[in-house]
Amino acid sequence: MASSKANAPLTPAVLHILLALATQERHGYGIMKQVETDSQGKVNMGPGTLYGSLGRMMDAGLLRESDKKVDPEMDDARRVYYTITGLGQKALAAELRRYHEVVAVAKQKRLSPNSSIYGYDYGV
């Protein structure tokens, strides 16, 4: 069962959360800010999406609450820190492999974000 969870495609919200937690434990607001930074401001995750996703991710075994505080002197006692689990690391790695495969296909077809397909310009 764990293997299938690790290989299942991730939603964009779950992917962004795992990326935000890939390098260090964070509390909810820290995750939201890291997602915003990582996406260069293109993704603004609201609290409903964030905390709903965190709950589902913990239920699925992708995350867990951390036992430690990153900076105990600066932290509010109510802050909960989250850390990625081994299963979460595997799920993130599987998703990144899928993205690399998609990019490889696009390169093979000589497509880029500025490509014109069937006369329609998809450039941003």
Q: What is the pLDDT of residue 111?
A: 85
Number of helices (H), then strands (E), belonging to the chain: the values are 5, 5
Side-chain half-sphere exposure of 85, counting CA atoms within 13 A = 15
AA letter at 59: D
What's the domain range around 17?
2-121
Q: Spell out the per-residue pLDDT of the chain, length 124, in tens.
A: 455 667 889 999 999 999 999 999 999 999 999 999 999 999 999 999 999 999 999 999 999 999 876 566 666 667 899 999 999 999 999 999 999 999 999 889 888 877 777 666 655 5
Q: What is the pLDDT of residue 68?
A: 74
Q: What's the pTM value of the predicted model, to 2 decimals? A: 0.82
Q: Name, in order, each residue with C-beta under 8 angstroms of 87's C-beta and a sequence gap of 6 or more.
A: 2, 5, 6, 60, 61, 62
Please give the tally of structural domains in the chain: 1
Distance (Å, whole) CA 61 – CA 27: 17
